[in-house]
Amino acid sequence: MNFEIIKLLASKWGVPICAVIAIVFLIMQAENVLLWKGAICEFFSKFSTKAQKAALSSKLRGSIIKTISKLEMEKDIIPSDLKVEWVSSEETESFLTEDQVIVRIKKKSNPQENLINATAAFVNAGMLYNYRRYLDKMVMKAANLNMIRKIVQSSGRNSLTYFEEEYLPPCLSLDEEIGDFYIKLKDIDKNGMFINILLRELSKAAGSLFGEDPDECLIVESRELVRFLHNIAMRESNEESLLQIKNNYFKIAIILTAKDRTLKKSGIKPYIHSIKSYISKGYDTIYMFGIGQKIITAQDIAKYINEDSENMYFATQHEYEHVFKDGHRKKAVVYEISAKY
């Protein structure tokens, strides 16, 4: 919005109305305001402790809120906010009663290091908090690293570089398997399946066990789910691969609205038919993808499903950015089709 537009709006509606609109806009964009505040404070952080503190807490909170809201993640998957409370004095008794650790932020440390360590602490403490004990540890560790990377991406290029060059290598060198899972999850994420399928399915499956003892079967199947999604992520467009998995905890099928010839020949009917067929065969959730121009096809199919009153299933849309193997990106949607009740 340039100055001329602001002047025009102010002369048309008056300054108070424009001010209200600006405030509403700022509230709606709270995460961006926090990130801007963080960037400005970082500039002054060499001269002032107050600015140093504000830079860290604003960037941390801004990048978390921005990532979590953009990715539409439920609270069961990860908390949507993190506030930093700066402590300068505390009574011993209340410190012991509250039972909460106080983390030291060193003045001379790289600001990116402080930011990434705090982001890592947030993800490790909060992601799938109620469910992680039911899931495979390697999958969880790799998923945590992947989530830290996604949040750090919102903090800016310097933060991401620090994460990739300084934070990640020692974590991956701890165990070859973590490295392998991390790379698999990164590929899965480029195809919009990390949050939209993997974390949602892990959360649902572990949620069904909540209050019970962990089941070895779910631990094994959570690794199997990663391998299944990775095969789909790595397939060539003309390659046939298994698009459904049905075991004790995961009964999901994937539909890719990608074949032009199917559409031209029979419209959306074959898709509706295959969704109904999966449902009748006992699949709990069908994930339908539409990439680029195919978004419209996916939307038409979802509209048909949601408007069909006899249908017991409902399609929920999630948006993401699809990253192809050659690095180019396209807008995409994935519909989660599952039982209404």
Contact footprint for other proteins (CB under 8 A): 49, 52-53, 56-57, 79, 81-92, 95-96, 98-108, 117-118, 120-122, 124-126, 132, 140-141, 144, 170
CB contact set of 211 (below 8 Å; sequence gap of 6+): none
Answer whether 116's CB lies under 8 Å from 162's CB: yes
Please tell me whether residue 194 adopts helix, strand or coil conformation.
Answer: helix
Q: Which is nearer to other proteins, 211 or 327 (CB)?
A: 211
Q: Which is nearer to other proteins, 213 or 326 (CB)?
A: 213
Q: How far is the CB of 287 from other proteins (least distance, A)?
A: 27
Q: How far is the CB of 60 from other proteins (least distance, A)?
A: 8
Please tell me whether residue 215 adopts helix, strand or coil conformation.
Answer: coil
Q: How far is the CB of 127 from other proteins (least distance, A)?
A: 8
Q: How far is the CB of 202 from other proteins (least distance, A)?
A: 14
Q: Which is nearer to other proteins, 91 or 326 (CB)?
A: 91
Q: How far is the CB of 217 from other proteins (least distance, A)?
A: 22
Structure tokens, 235? 């397939």
Q: Which is nearer to other proteins, 126 or 270 (CB)?
A: 126
Q: Which is nearer to other proteins, 23 or 174 (CB)?
A: 174
Q: How far is the CB of 337 from other proteins (least distance, A)?
A: 32
CA distance 95 to 254: 50
Q: Which is nearer to other proteins, 45 or 338 (CB)?
A: 45
Answer whether 66's CB lies under 8 Å from 154's CB: yes
Q: How far is the CB of 53 from other proteins (least distance, A)?
A: 6
- In the block, tokens 């003892």 appear at 213
Q: Which is nearer to other proteins, 90 or 260 (CB)?
A: 90
Please tell me whether residue 248 adopts helix, strand or coil conformation.
Answer: coil
Contacts 24+ apart (CB under 8 A), 63-69: 63/31, 63/35, 63/119, 63/151, 63/152, 63/154, 63/155, 63/159, 64/119, 64/122, 64/151, 65/30, 65/31, 65/34, 66/31, 66/32, 66/35, 66/154, 67/150, 67/151, 67/153, 67/154, 69/31
